[in-house]
Structure 1
């Protein structure tokens, strides 16, 4: 004998009911089949609304009753031949008339009791199960309809009645042992008390009905047919990388269902678990899918089986010095909650006995506060304890797995992952069996937390970085191109997915939480909303996505002011913008400290040397215990390009213009020629070496006449350069006369730094520095005789983008 249960979506339309009947028919010649069904999807909610509206004196209940009637009549017309419509509709109409009379009576008296509401809610299952029984008979199957209220007896706790298993088991076995039919259709969810009054088993109780019947008859299997292909490692609506769970133990299924997994109603498991009856969770709309088998524990690939959560939780804390060493406080607390029938979901207590905290549903806050404060009124008056403390807007996220007890560091991995993503844990509970670790967090963080935890415990799904890019010009455009180009490699070789969620330039910003399509991002941005950095920042923070990375490809001071806010919200920052790291030392240090405090990345490799590993190499030296004695460097690819091409037969103006056209200088080349950009770079390197320097501490031995720096515009600057060509030519000629070459050099030594144009002799490593290359010489305690040299292209969109890309990838090791 087998028991099959079909949920509301499985019987939600004529087409769905036909699918159910086809599934049932496929079980021919496999023994007796008991089929338990829910009401058609949405019907129970409508029935509840009818009762409540009628009690409020609101005649809108009549239109809802018409909706219910029309829906069922339309289902009959679609499901059955026209020749039987009249008789079937007449039968259903009798049920609907009874329902209407019941609601009219409620309307007249203006009162709705739990007893009456149970009676109203029963009509959904009664009608759906009767229609399906008729359809099976139309298909030629030997089917019979049976009212579950005649089989399952409960107490009189209307709304969520408790089953009397002794009587129920006797009634079920007695009935079925005398029946010869092959198919039995039963309405789920409903039962009756000893006075034969209708009761219900709680929302989701159709699962429970099926389990009660299966256990009473010691069925071979209980199948729960729903609209998903079994249980998943997490809610797929919140965690896109969730994967099916092929097999799960009874205890794990109970834990997951208790903590919010909606595939199966929590009480369902207990009756069949006692008889060791396996439960299959199957998909009505994809019956060939394997589904999930709930059975005794077996081998699993992961220590964690699933992750679940309960929304809208409140924490209630009873605390006070008067509790320490005094027995009975916990008992009185739980008694007060019990009297108000408030379910306690989670319990945690400090070892000092100074406080005890419980989690309850937010809907119970007012009752709980009143009951507990009343129970401890004297102690509160005597100031031995505080009035009950209530914290709202919380959720519970639970990690469940029988195998967690066999693996070390489960808690460490869980809390480490939450901490790295700035998710604060308000309370923790872990059972002694180590099958469940429950955390209470802000409900604002639930989606983020579920995704973060899932990435940690399930190795096969990709780790996902959610990237927000501001600045999509030359460098930013190349970055997006490189991300798209390397997507397959990162997936295959690093198990990493970089998902660009937002892009922006100075005019427009575009968000797509599912990921920007990088093949046509320019078109999407052209049609997007106007750029507003405050709105961009707020939206990024409010999305609250896991492993978030903000990328700044601009030179904007205003944007750099947002870095601290992002780091405080657990968002890593990657930037080629030198403003933040060359601002006041206190601002620079604050950003570094925030990154450490919130365990996120603040990476700016491209501040110095574009894609060259200049800062990373320096950091490795410092972290490994080396000490910097001096730094000597050519740090401007733009200036190196200019002076390498400033040869006899060319003018300085021509070379500068060419460099600008090639994209090697800023749009205003004076930023490069003034040496200010190099000052920022050597300042950053000095700070990364441990020096507490400010910008004004750096000596700038500039070569550009002051009048050119003060020109009103770039055009005026170029126009005035003609007047100073002799000045630039003489600089070159003097160097040529000594057999030297001009390089703009930055140095840091003995706590001081300077930049300036120097004539470099042929025996110096800088002499043969070609094109737009940069070079850095680190002289340290370990590299005292021969400096450690980093050399390569120090300008250009491609290499700068590659440096930013590398920093983005590095954040994956922290996030």
Structure 2
């Protein structure tokens, strides 16, 4: 014999009931079946809502009852031919008249007791089960209706009645011995206290009814039919890649359901677990799907089992902490605490206590927090007055996230892996609980981090094949557009070879921004300006923080001074930062150190390799030298691809102004070329290198010996080119003076003995700086290890493509 339970969505309307009929018919061909059904979808909630309206004399209850009556009348008309409708329409009308009379009585009294609430709520399952049983009989099936409410005996704890299993088992066995039909249909959720009072088994109690009956008849298996294909590794509403669980132990299922997996009502596991009856969760709308087997005897071996089987979460949680020196070494404190909560019927979801015994922290539903606070403070009033303990502290807006798996107890490093990935994503843990069984690690976190935490853990424990990275790109100019194109072009390769999936989750410039948690498709990027909303750097950063996605990277490919102002707030939320923009790393030294320390303290990365040398590994080289114990003694470098290009191209055959214009056209200069030509950009770069080498220099400490006439620095970019033309003779004289010495012009950055300068220099043919062509950069390091033969880094130091590739490399490094 099998027991089949169908939930509210499975019997929501006639089309769904026909699917149930098909499943029941198929299973009955294999043997006898008992079918337990819930009320039609939403009916129980509406019945209780009607009663609640009536209790405050809100006449809307009349319309609610009428709507429910019409729902059931429509169901009868759709399931039965006209000739057979009359008796069942009368049946529906009679019982809704009873419901309306009950509500009228509630309205007169102005009171709704739990006893009456159970009476009202019991009608939903009663009506649905009678109609479904009649439908099966109409179809010629050997079916009988069973009044579960009369067979299941409980106490009088209305809304959460406790079952008398001995009496109940006897009643069920007697009924089935007297009724040998192939199919037995009965209502779930409802019972009786022996005094002819209706009781209910708690919301989700239809599962419990089915389990009680399965245990009573020693069923072959219990099937829970619902609207999903079994239990999932996480809530699919939160995790798009959640996977069905093919099999799971009773204890694992109980842990998952206790901490929020809604597919199964937690108490329903106990009766079948005691009798060692397999429980299968199936999908009414996809009956051929495998579903989830819950059993003592699983098919997979210990070696085949995953570390964890699933992740569940509960929102709207409050933490209550009772602490004080008067608790240390005093027996009975915990008993007193839980006794006062028990008296108030407040369920404790999670408990944690410090080994010092100085405090006890419990997690409960947020809606119970004030009642619990009052109860605890009242119970411990004398201790609070004597300062032995403090008044209970309450924290709200929290969630519990639980990682569940039998195999965790035999694997080392599970907690480290769990806490490590959460920490790397900036998720702060408020409390931790792990049972001695070691099959559950539960954490309490801020509710706003709940979705992120579940996704982070799911990716870490269930999606090792692909890591999702969320990119937020600020700046869509030359470098930004090249970077975006490189990401789209390279992503398939990264997924296939490095198991990394880059999602461009946000794009912004100074005017517009656009977001998509699933990644902006390449076709949408082409016209994202039209699709996006108005933006600023702060609004872009605030939206990134609000979305709170895992593995996030903010990429600054602007030259804006506004964008670096949002770095610290992003780092504090553990968002990795990759900056092409040099302003942050060359700002006030205190600000620079704050950003570096913030990144370290929040387990994220702040990379800015392209600040110096575009795609060349200059900063990375310094970092490697310092980490390995070397010490930078001096740096000599040509750090401006723009200036190197300009002085390589400027030979007197064209004006200096024309060469600079060419450099800007080819994308080698900053938007304002004066940043390059004034030496400001080079000064920033040598400052960054000196700082990375361990020297706390300020920008003002850099000696900048310029070659541009001061007038060229005034006015707009357009007027700048006009003034360059006016001073052409000045530039020719610089060139000719170098030529007279058999040398060439290079703009050089130098650092030695803690001091730095930048200047235009005459470079002789025997210098390492002489043979430097086009837009190339060169950096020459002298260190303790590289004292006689310097370490040289040389290559293209400007251009949108190479800079974008350097940013891309930093992105990959940051994750």
- Sort the Cα spacing of 1:473 and 1:82 in 2 relative to 1 into closer, same or farther, 3 A: farther
Q: Does 1:13 align with 2:33?
A: no
TM-score, structure 2 as length reference: 0.98
| Deviation string, structure 1 residues 248-268 (Cα, Å, up to 9, x no partner) | 000000000001110100001
Q: Deviations over 1:484-508 (max 9, x none)?
A: 1112112112211222221111111
Partners of 1:473 and 1:13 in 2: how far apart?
56
For residue 236 of structure 2, what is the aligned residue in structure 1? 236
The equivalent of 1:159 in structure 2 is 159
Matches within 5 A, 1:203-218: 203-218=203-218
- Give RMSD over aligned pairs: 1.4
Corresponding residue SS for 1:557: coil
Alpha-carbon deviation of 1:437? 0.9
Cα distance, 1:746 vs structure 2: 0.9
Write the distance in 1 (CA, Å) between the matches of 2:480 and 2:653.
36
TM-score normalised by length of structure 1: 0.98
Contact kept in structure 1, 2:28 and 2:183, CA below 8 Å? no
CA–CA separation in structure 2 for the residues paired with 1:137 and 1:736: 108
Q: Aligned equivalents of 2:745 and 2:175: distance in 1?
A: 103
Matches within 5 A, 1:313-462: 313-462=317-466
- The answer as to 2:810 corresponding to 1:807 is yes
Find the counterpart in structure 1 of residue 659 from structure 2. Answer: 655
Distance 2:692 2:640 in 1: 18
Contact kept, 8 Å, 1:480 with 1:518, in 2: the verdict is no
- How far residue 791 of structure 1 moved from its aligned partner, in angstroms, is 1.7
3-state SS of 1:771 partner: coil
Select the residue among 544, 551, 562 that pairs with 1:547.
551
TM alignment of 1:247-326, pairs within 5 A: 247-296=247-296, 297=298, 298-299=300-301, 300-326=304-330
Q: Does 2:472 match 1:480?
A: no
User: 1:62-211 maps to which residues of 2 (within 5 A)?
Assistant: 62-211=62-211
Tell me, yes or no, if structure 1 residue 762 matches structure 2 residue 765. Answer: yes
- Aligned-pair distance for 1:765? 2.5
Q: Could you say which residue in structure 1 is the equivalent of 2:695? A: 691
**Residue equivalent to 1:515:** 519
Q: Are 1:792 and 2:795 matched, yes or no? A: yes
Which string of whole-angstrom CA distances, capped at 9 and with x for unpartnered residues, describes residues 618-677 of structure 1?
A: 111111111111111111111111111112412111111111111111222111111100
1:10 aligned counterpart, secondary structure? coil
Q: Which moved more, 1:218-227 or 1:301-310?
A: 301-310
Question: What secondary structure sits across from 2:777 in the alignment?
Answer: strand
SS at match of 1:519: helix
In 2, Cα distance between equivalents of 1:491 and 1:638: 36
How many residues align? The count is: 811
CA contact (8 A) 2:705 2:760 kept: yes
Cα distance in 1 for residues equivalent to 2:133 and 2:604: 60
Per-residue CA deviation, residues 478-537 of structure 1 (Å, 9 max, x unaligned), is 111111111211211221122222111111111222322232214232232211333222
Deviation at 1:216, TM superposition (A): 0.7
2:722 paired with 1:719: yes
CA contact 1:54–1:104 (8 Å) conserved in 2: yes
Contact 2:510 2:537 in 1 (8 A): no
Kept in 2: contact 1:241–1:461 (CA 8 A): no
Partner of 1:752: 755
Q: SS where residue 520 of structure 1 aligns?
A: helix
Q: Report the Cα distance in structure 1 between the residues aligned to 2:436 and 2:414, rounded to whole angstroms.
A: 14
Conserved 8 A contact 1:576-1:804: yes
Q: Deviations over 1:311-338 (max 9, x none)?
A: 1111111111111122111111111111
Deviation at 1:461, TM superposition (A): 4.9
Structure 1 spans left out of the alignment, 5+ residues? none
Any conservation in 2 of the 1:471–1:554 contact (CA below 8 Å)? yes
Question: Are residues 1:605 and 2:609 paired?
Answer: yes
**Larger displacement relative to structure 2 (679-688 or 612-621):** 612-621
Aligned counterparts of 1:87 and 1:483: Cα–Cα separation in 2:
68
Counterpart for residue 681 of structure 2: 677
In 1, the alpha carbon distance for the partners of 2:72 and 2:793 equals: 77
Report if aligned partners of 2:305, 2:407 keep a CA contact under 8 Å in 1.
no
Give the whole-Å Cα distance in 1 for the aligned partners of 2:139 and 2:368. Answer: 49
Structure 2 distance, partners of 1:658, 1:80, is 84
Q: CA deviation at 1:459?
A: 4.0
Deviation, structure 1 residue 280: 0.8
